[in-house]
């Protein structure tokens, strides 16, 4: 009898703890970030801080929930509450973010940081109007071209079949109209498509090429930083509004800290990433000033077709204003 009473007392004491654990609000978050990568570990650490604030973060890395467009769709119908996105997914919510990723518009991380900081309030307000909350901003390096053969000029790329995000019909039409051969795919299909010959080139950042091991199938990398791969952590406003003000403050702070850590880690490891890939066969193709100028002209000539369709004119103009402001004040 004494043992039975003790068991009942213990169960009664533990019940509130169990109920509290079960009643923690949950945020399911999808991302293409590979499990086990430095990015993933930083996000896991953020999740531990969220748990201490009374919110459970369930991460779904490596594209297990689909590509970024799939995650956005699932966020809209309530299956998922958050995502760690590149500009490709973010532009599905609001195209204004494309102003931070215009090809050949920025020359350095410092320029990008300056423009993004100036535009942050503008961008976050637009996302809020669409029902989404941006918790932090980041980037994963600078996009360049990787190919089975060297890609030094626009004409070289025209001879190749290259990856483009499936569902990005505006970009698809733009590339095709200029005489290129883009192949729409999910990012999770890049490696297989390279191996089967469906594509023979792709564009991404060096750290992504290493993380997903894509570079081994297309080892020629053009030394051309043609656009920053901007990203952000975003959650649905309806899930955010269910949290207490104290929880929102704690989650926002840890998310901002994670964003800074991700950005610093990626930028600090760029040279190490290149060293590793070179060890395993990467060939960096240097470009002449004339070849770089050819790319600059091709991309700048495309601006009239992009502005107003793929990026709002007011967002582009604001980004250009701040970029020019930075260049004047940082000569």
Answer whether 28's CB lies under 8 Å from 236's CB.
Answer: no
pLDDT tens digit sequence for 279-329: 999 999 999 999 999 999 999 999 999 999 999 999 999 999 999 999 999
DSSP 34: P
Three-state SS at 281 = coil
DSSP 95: G
What span, in angstroms and rounded, lies between the C-alpha atoms of 187 and 41? 21
Question: What does the CA dihedral 203, 100, 255, 233 come to, rounded to 10 degrees?
Answer: -60
CATH class of 25-329: alpha beta
pLDDT tens digit sequence for 71-129: 999 999 999 999 999 999 999 999 999 999 999 999 999 999 999 999 999 999 999 99
Three-state SS at 311 = strand
């Amino acid at each position: 009898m004494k043992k039975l009473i003790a068991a009942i007392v213990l169960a009664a004491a533990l019940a509130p703890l169990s109920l509290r654990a079960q009643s923690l609000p949950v945020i399911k978050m999808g991302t293409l970030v590979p499990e086990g990568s430095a990015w993933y570990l930083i996000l896991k650490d953020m999740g531990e801080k969220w748990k201490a604030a009374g919110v459970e973060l369930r991460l779904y890395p490596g594209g297990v929930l689909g590509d970024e467009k799939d995650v956005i769709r699932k966020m809209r119908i309530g299956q998922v509450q958050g995502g760690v996105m590149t500009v490709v997914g973010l532009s599905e919510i609001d195209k204004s973010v494309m102003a931070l990723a215009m090809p050949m518009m920025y020359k350095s991380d410092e320029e990008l940081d300056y423009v993004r900081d100036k535009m942050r309030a503008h961008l976050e307000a637009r996302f809020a109007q669409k029902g989404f909350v941006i918790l932090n901003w980041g980037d994963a390096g600078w996009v360049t071209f990787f190919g089975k053969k060297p890609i030094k000029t626009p004409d070289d790329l025209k001879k190749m079949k290259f990856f483009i995000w499936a569902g990005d019909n505006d970009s698809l039409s733009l590339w095709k109209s200029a005489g290129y051969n883009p192949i729409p795919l999910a990012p999770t299909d890049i490696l297989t498509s390279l191996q089967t010959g469906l594509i023979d080139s792709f564009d991404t950042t060096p750290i992504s090429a290493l993380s997903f091991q894509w570079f081994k199938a297309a080892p020629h990398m053009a030394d051309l930083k043609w656009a920053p791969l901007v990203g952000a952590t975003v959650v649905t406003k309806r899930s955010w509004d269910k949290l207490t003000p104290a929880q929102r403050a704690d989650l926002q702070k840890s998310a901002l800290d994670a964003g800074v850590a991700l950005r610093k880690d990626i930028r600090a490891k760029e040279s190490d990433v290149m060293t590793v890939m070179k060890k395993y066969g990467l060939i960096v193709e240097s470009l002449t000033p004339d070849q770089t100028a050819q790319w600059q002209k091709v991309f700048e000539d495309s601006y009239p077709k992009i502005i107003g369709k793929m990026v709002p004119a007011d967002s582009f103009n604001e980004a250009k204003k701040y970029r020019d402001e930075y260049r004047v004040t940082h000569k």
